[in-house]
Structure 1
Amino acid sequence: MQKSDILKNLQEIAGNERVSASSAELYCYSCDASQVRGMPDFIVRPVSTEQVSKIVRLANEEEIPVTSRGAGTGMAGGAVPLEGGIVLDMSSMNRILEMDLGNLQVTIEPGIIQEKLNEALEPYGFFFPPDPGSSAMCTLGGLIANNGSGMRSVKYGTTKTYVLGLEVVMADGTVVNTGSKVTKSVAGYSLNDLFIGSEGTLGVITKATLKVRALPKERSVLLASFDDPEHAGQAVVKVLSSGLIPSACEILDRNIIEAINTYDPNIGLPKAGAILMFEVDGTENSVREGIEMIRGICSSLATSIRAASDKKERDEIWAARRLVGAAVSRLDPLRTRVYLGEDIGVPIKELPGMLHKIREISEEFDLPIMTYGHIGDGNLHTGMCIDMLDDKQWDKLSKVADKIHRTAIGIGGTVTAEHGVGSARAEYLELELGNALDVMILIKKALDPKGILNPGKMGV
């Protein structure tokens, strides 16, 4: 079929106004937040499962690649159409279909923004716990497709913890439903888990039923300063080993503290080798006891400790943490943040050693690394900036990222704890997964024999 005929067919399915092949629009969909690039041939913005099914069926018949996309906030090239074809922009399918709060669940379309769901839930006293840094922008479909998480995962778990059921369009256009509305079921294979984190390589998510939780009555935050990140890592191990599970546990190292204070001098974070931010939620008594317990555990390692005195101070501390993404590039205006080697996860007891190793790698290659992230679940982000016009700096950055990845794998960790594999980290999957990657490839071939769904991603 000629390109003009494909365009006409897509317009008949979704409507002229929801299909585009203009150069300007295609360019806008050629990237995400990563360094990965790929130009699509068509953009389609479906509004129903029926439309998605017809589009995918056409693509399968004509062997046209299909890449699903939410808000494009990914950092691994997961939504980038490496082999052209159709980009399915799912952001128009953004409704809350059902709020079944008596059963502690909601049913949503994939294009709804994560923050918008929580805004709708809050008046009823509920929330959806996964809390990525991009919560004001990212879609829930993208969050499910990457099994994203964020700051509260140390206590509440990742997105997969909350997925009860999915509606998925398969590679041949067939619509299947996985899971159910019950909180537990062992009827058949766990197909939810197959599609969660599959990054659109096995099917297109068009609906999801999600668990929600009651909002905690109280929250408080404790901020502890340390001479170096290794001492901060030791404090995290001690806190988690005590049996207390904070609702969030974040780290900021010296470089990122300086960057945040430069970005907004009013923030006034204390100068330190590293800062830990602990949040405890629950009842008023349990929060007070938890904060005091953390204070006692950290006292032998920290140089200073302070707990938020009220909601205003608590919000100010978290506002500083949420500035990280904007602040990373501010220390040197001539350099740009590049998302490579920036989402490792390591076993909890390995945190002090990994933090020390990151500092050694930074010194070895003379490349500043700003370390921050969800240290309570072992997830560290290493922010690096370079002059993007300097090939030598690109080469150095690649070597640093490679060493960070291989170090994490070497101690039983992962190259991506929440941002996804995409194409940016696909080369490490064989090293990390071994022959389990062969099983992934078999599953991909079985469900998508023509290889049309997000080709070139996840090593499959």
Structure 2
Amino acid sequence: MDHYEELKNICEGRITAAPAELCCYAADGSQIKGKPDYVVFPKTTDEVSQVLAYANKHLIPVTTRGAGTGLAGGAVPVRGGILLDMSQMNQILSIDINDIQVTVEPGLVADKLNETLKPYGFFFPPDPGSAATCTIGGQISSNASGMRCVKYGTTKNYVLDLEVVLADGTVIHTGTNCLKSSIGYDLSRLYVGSEGTLGVITKAVLKISPLPKFRKLIMISFPSPENAGLSVSRVFAAGVVPSACEILDKTSVSILTKLDPDVIFPRDGDVVLFEVDGSSKNAVDESAELLASACEEISSSILITDDPVKMKEIWDARRLLGAAVSKLDPTKTRIYVGEDLGVPIQKLPQMIAKVYEITNEIGITPMIYGHVGDGTVHVGLFIDVLDKDEWKKLDIAADRLHLAAIELGGTISSEHGIGAARGMYMEKQCGSAFGVMKAIKKTLDPNGILNPGKLGLS
């Protein structure tokens, strides 16, 4: 049977099997590789439904892709088959300020949504570093968060309803347009973070929030990374919930200062960037002072500013960090493995110390940054990609880092997802609950066509 012609008819010619174009879909931001046999560009829920029904009938694997910014291989078609490129389903379908919600298609770029909401005085809070390019569907599928998750939460906190196409082509809705609902199993939460293994999201109803009127940034340097990690629990103990809380270790700071020698960062230690926001200037000022006071005893220097130019410069520099690592050593490349650890906040100093212990023993260069306000520790590991021995060191370091996070009561993935990169740790991480996940997968996708090879499920 000519699958190409059948799929071409379903999507009115929006398909490609050209080898050069297929290569463009063979990777995401990770080291995972896998080339599809066809790339299909649906424009409607009905087209997605027909494609899945056809694929299910003929046992063809289906992988869904937004912008391909993922760091765990979640959108990589490791078993070939059909790749659904959702970029043409990219509309804002409605904005309802009275009910503080929007309805969007999955291919909508995250920053585009916030640009549209800004004149209304609202925003969609989840703020991943890739917000300028990642899609809403990708955010939902990986439960993305970002720099302001400590106060505003992750994507799952904003999903009210999803339109989802199941493996056999059936279309369901997982929730309601109400701000709260108690109607049995929370199917919306089931699909958030499922990475395309249980269905394809074609619409989303999302809660939005008012933009804060006042913001203040507090940049604090510390004499050791352990002190930097300790600062987070001190801030919470002082009764302050910052809107953002980002750590940058000495290596991270040195990268940014090499990129731009004039950037406003202290040169004398590990740095934590805190931000407080709110609707009252007095409340924001008070929070900033309380926060600074809580860290004063263990810090080296403190900068407090509400200058929008300075704040933008600092946050822009933070966003560039992942792309600027070549400034550390042009002969080495940052590889995204073991990079998304999470631990309880009180265990942050221990996790940070463990990162340095493991990498020093193995002889590999790390940098630490991330959203420590919710316990996230991003670890950047650098190697010469032409050196096979360094690849071996990398794999050993990543394995030990993942196991260390689990041993500290943490997680192997705080926000980047499991994809094809971390599936081998799922049983150890989840215990007997992993069997429940497998049972759900088998029930909703009995033929195993939806994003096979992901989450350790197949």
TM-score over 0.5 for the alignment? yes
What is the match of residue 101 of structure 2? 105
Deviation at 1:335, TM superposition (A): 1.0
What is the match of residue 208 of structure 1? 204
Aligned: 1:306 with 2:303: yes
Deviation at 1:266, TM superposition (A): 2.4
Q: Is the Cα contact below 8 Å between 2:147 and 2:246 reproduced in 1?
A: yes
What is the match of residue 69 of structure 1? 65
CA RMSD of aligned residues (A): 0.8
Letter in 1 for 2:204: A
Letter in 2 for 1:400: A
What is the match of residue 340 of structure 2? 343
What is the match of residue 447 of structure 1? 444
What is the match of residue 187 of structure 2? 191
Deviation at 1:389, TM superposition (A): 1.5
Aligned identity (percent) is: 54
Q: Is the Cα contact below 8 Å between 1:246 and 1:280 reproduced in 2?
A: yes
Name structure 2 gaps, 5 residues minimum: none
Q: Deviations over 1:347-405 (max 9, x none)?
A: 00000111111111121112111100000000010001111111100000011111111
Moved over 4 A (4+): none
Which runs of structure 2 are paired with 1:41-440 in the superposition (5 Å)? Answer: 41-282=37-278, 283-440=280-437
Q: Is the Cα contact below 8 Å between 1:329 and 1:385 reproduced in 2?
A: no
Letter in 1 for 2:211: L
What is the match of residue 37 of structure 1? 33
Which runs of structure 2 are paired with 1:1-12 in the superposition (5 Å)? Answer: 1=1, 5-12=2-9
Deviation at 1:272, TM superposition (A): 2.8
Letter in 2 for 1:428: Y
Distance in 2, matches of 1:268 and 1:212, equals 32
TM-score (structure 2 length as normaliser): 0.99
Deviation at 1:273, TM superposition (A): 2.8
What is the match of residue 457 of structure 1? 454
Distance in 1, matches of 2:347 and 2:40, equals 45
Distance in 1, matches of 2:300 and 2:240, equals 22
Distance in 2, matches of 1:292 and 1:96, equals 40
Deviation at 1:195, TM superposition (A): 0.6
Letter in 1 for 2:217: V
Deviation at 1:268, TM superposition (A): 4.3
Letter in 2 for 1:85: G
Letter in 2 for 1:453: L
Distance in 2, matches of 1:443 and 1:164, equals 21
Q: Is the Cα contact below 8 Å between 1:328 and 1:370 reproduced in 2?
A: no
Distance in 1, matches of 2:161 and 2:170, equals 17
Q: Is the Cα contact below 8 Å between 1:228 and 1:272 reproduced in 2?
A: no
